Amino acid sequence: MQTSFELRWHGRGGQGAVTAAIIVAEAAIFDGKNAQAFPEFGAERRGAPVKAYTRVSERQIFTRSPIIAPDMVVVLDTSIDKKIYFDGLKVGGTLLINSSKDRSELREKIERKDIMVAKVDATHIAMDELGAAIVNTAMVGALIKVVPLAKFDSVGEAIRENFKSKIAESNVKAAGRAYNEVEVLS
Amino acid sequence: METMEKSIWKRLPLSSNYAVAYAAKDSDVDEIAAYPITPQTTVVEKLSEFIANGELLAEMVHVESEHSAMSASIGASAAGARAFTATSSQGLELMHELLHIASGMRLPIVMSVSARALSAPLSIWGDYSDVMNTRDTSWITIIASSAQEVYDSIVQAYRIAESVMLPVMVAYDGFMMSHTYEPVFVSEKSDLFRNYIPRKDRVILDTRKPVTMGAVANPDWYYEAKYQQVKAMEEAYGASVEADQAFSKLYGRNYGLVEEYNVENSDLIILTYGGLFGTVKQAVDEMKENGVSVGAARVRLFRPFPLNELRMLLLKSKAFVVLDRSFSNGLPVSGPLAIELKSMMNSYNITVPVYSYIVGLGQRTVSEADISKITNQALAGKGVNESIYWGVRE
Amino acid sequence: MTSLTGWKSIPTGAFIMEPGNSSERYTGDWRTFKPVINQDKCTRCLRCWIFCPEPAISIVDRQYTNSSGRAWKNTIEINYNYCKGCGICVEECEPKAIDFIEEVK
């Protein structure tokens, strides 16, 4: 019985995967939906692999168990082992990945053909807009284009809730660019 | 509800820790003394922010330990302040002797607890070992299962505390709730709860009218003072019902002392507490789809123990599973809630089978699949009158 | 049997509602020895009053003239309601004017 859309985020400490998970939930809540966001509760340190989760639903969400069969996986850092981020991803699910690779090259590298793949060069966008490789807000922008879990304006509102004014605007801009630049590969 | 009450509520994405901070602010607390500990830390961070922004007029007392946090809360409350504190795990343990002093001095302090495992081995993750260790401290204990309920319960806690003059603790899952963002309706106005939790006259430390608090009581007096506390805890039962009903009348939300889900005519009811109830409800939905006759319930008020609601619940099924996220070893049944339930059943000559399971210690994952397997095992009649440590590796 | 107040009547939290009521409780009933002031030898220096850990030395407004004709405005007395018989006054008395004698009840 599928009641909610379940997302798992993979990044490294400092890239903002947890904040991204929260921003998407916040935006969905601003849209009047129900949502849940929580980190994988482990030791937090810069550079360590980090997981975070988001659930979005039209109905009230009961469960509090971790997401083991996600509808979608968002990968902020391609150096993370595929075995980790493909774990449990549903057939017919979606992979959104931060990559600067050429689309055909990337599609070829991804062995799973039973999923939809989308890519965005979030590192490049983040360097341009923020001057740092903090890719989370760009990935959120790309995500809501591929799966419309929340309105773009609500994402903007959520970003402004999480960052100080000046940084917030650059992040909204990064999200906007990623929203426009994300490519679906298959 | 969302449209009806738009004028007094705003719907925000909040973790349970932030919900606590909003509730303390909206309860217009005067004094906060707290020491940071994972996973409680963001409660105090948010409250500091509210004070710094001028949204909350309160004294933040920076203390050097939880022992001092509770001591300062006792002092502030004795001096007439509406006192608030928050802690978790080892911090709650360090407060322990003061918990008895707060309740013995009958001070209406409210505290939130992000429930967490106890060392050793060191674990920063969630379970209810810390909360269960406070069962005999005469603190009224509410265990919430959603961020919304956390918010509402903190406000209700002040009404209960200031009515029966006992401190109240509001507990919720460390991490699984403390760090999970979900929608919460919080007050749009700063004085929404002013009449629900009015400022009352009580005996306080006042140089114009001196009294002595916390004096020695020799064997002629100690017993009577403690018995007063016993009676106050009995009064807390009715006061908790009243607080919940009055809250419902004014604000449209209530929880009861025991929450039930799909319990009518079930072969089995799964009884638990805290955030795990959500996962259990989800599992119940899934099992119902597969034709299993199962319901869920949770104890929201743990102290005083909700005798009437549980007696009613015990009539509604042929068997019960109790899921505890803590253990008290030395007895065949070692889950704290299971022990209390069985003790209570004995007083009322109720003999329905109770299957006790220990789950989720140190935040070991409990999934819907676990709940379903436990249900099948219990329906097959396995393991009655003992506690099963579910999923522990051999 | 004395009859003490029950749980319903004692103040909430066992607070003590009247301040300064300790003087109502006599604490001087456990002495083995008791100090007795020799008024003739006493010089009214008040060292006993300073050292007494209890409020058990009273300065009474009553004239006293000793055997050598020396007149004092005050008389120093022990308040046996509070004197615990510790003997500090006996020890501290410079003119050795306090005797310590066995309490006979």
pLDDT in tens, B345-379: 999 999 999 999 999 999 999 999 999 999 999 99
Question: Does residue B155 share a domain with residue B30?
Answer: yes
Q: What is the pLDDT of residues A26-56, one digit of tens each?
A: 999 999 999 999 988 665 566 678 899 999 9
Is residue B70 one of the residues assigned to a domain? yes
Is residue B93 one of the residues assigned to a domain? yes
DSSP string, A126-150: HHHHHSS---HHHHHHHHHHHS-SS
Q: Which of B251, B284, B305 is the last residue of a domain?
A: B251
Tokens of C49: 């009053």
Tokens of A141: 């922008």
- pLDDT at position A7 is 97
Is residue B247 one of the residues assigned to a domain? yes
Question: Is the four-CA dihedral B346, B348, B351, B353 of positive or negative sign?
Answer: negative
Q: Which domain holds residue B127?
A: 9-251
Interface size between B and C, measured as CB pairs under 8 A: 47
Q: How far is CA B245 from CA B159, B259, B273, B309, B355, in A?
A: 12, 14, 21, 15, 32
Alpha carbons B112 and B173: distance in angstroms, whole number: 11
Question: Does residue B275 share a domain with residue B163?
Answer: no
Would you say B203 and B211 are in contact if contact means Cβ atoms under 8 Å apart? Answer: yes
Alpha carbons B284 and B278: distance in angstroms, whole number: 10
Is residue B379 one of the residues assigned to a domain? yes
- Over range C27-40, report the average pLDDT: 92
Question: Does residue B275 share a domain with residue B170?
Answer: no
Architecture of domain C27-102: 2-Layer Sandwich (3.30)
C5 contacts on B by Cβ (under 8 Å): 224
Question: Does residue B307 share a domain with residue B166?
Answer: no
Structural domains of chain A, with CATH: 5-184 (3.40.920.10)
DSSP string, B345-389: HHHTT----EEEEE--GGG----HHHHHHHHHHHHTTTTTTSEEE
Report CB contact under 8 Å: B225, C6: no
What is the average pLDDT value for chain C, to the nearest integer?
Answer: 92
C15 contacts on B by Cβ (under 8 Å): 203, 211-213, 215
CA angle (C68 as vertex; C65, C74 as ends), nearest 5: 25
The reply to whether A60 touches chain B by the CB within 8 Å rule is no
Q: What is the pLDDT of residues C71-83, one digit of tens each?
A: 999 999 999 999 9
Question: Does residue B78 share a domain with residue B40?
Answer: yes
Assign residue B173 the CATH number of its domain. Answer: 3.40.50.970
Total number of domains in chain B? 2
Which pLDDT band holds residue A164 (cuts at 50, 70, 90)?
confident
Instruction: Give the residue among A60, A77, C82, C70 at the shortest CA–CA distance from B261.
Output: A60
Coil vs helix vs strand at A81: coil
pLDDT over 70 percentage in chain A: 95
Assign residue B276 the CATH number of its domain. Answer: 3.40.50.920
Report CB contact under 8 Å: A64, B289: no
Alpha carbons B167 and B154: distance in angstroms, whole number: 12
Q: What is the pLDDT of residues A111-157, one digit of tens each?
A: 899 999 999 999 999 999 999 999 999 999 999 999 999 999 999 99
Strands (E), B17-176: 31-34, 59-62, 83-87, 110-115, 140-143, 168-173
Per the rule left: phi > 0, alpha: psi between -120 and 50, beta: everything else, B128 is alpha
Q: Which of B251, B278, B311 is the last residue of a domain?
A: B251
Spans of all domains in chain C:
27-102
The reply to whether B106 touches chain C by the CB within 8 Å rule is yes
Q: What is the pLDDT of residues A84-96, one digit of tens each?
A: 899 999 999 999 9
Question: Does residue B265 share a domain with residue B224?
Answer: no
Give pTM, 2 decimals.
0.90
Question: Does residue B218 share a domain with residue B366?
Answer: no
Half-sphere exposure of B109 (CA within 13 A, CB side): 34
Alpha carbons A3 and A67: distance in angstroms, whole number: 13
Instruction: Give the residue among B360, B155, B176 at the shortest CA–CA distance from B278.
Output: B176
ipTM value: 0.88
Q: What is the pLDDT of residues B79-128, one digit of tens each?
A: 999 999 999 999 999 999 999 999 999 999 999 999 999 999 999 999 99
Question: Does residue B263 share a domain with residue B242?
Answer: no
Tokens of C90: 């006996």
Is residue B297 one of the residues assigned to a domain? yes
DSSP string, B37-57: -TTTHHHHHHHHHHHHTTSS-
Q: Find the CB nearest B224 among C6, C15, C16.
A: C6
Alpha carbons B317 and B325: distance in angstroms, whole number: 23
Is residue B4 one of the residues assigned to a domain? no
Which pLDDT band holds residue B6 (cuts at 50, 70, 90)?
low
Tell me which of B164, B224, B235 to substitute to probe the interface with C (most C C-beta atoms closer than 10 Å). Answer: B224
Q: Which of B211, B230, B251 is the last residue of a domain?
A: B251
Report CB contact under 8 Å: B104, C14: yes
Report CB contact under 8 Å: A36, B179: no
Is residue B156 one of the residues assigned to a domain? yes
Would you say residue B2 has pLDDT above 60? no
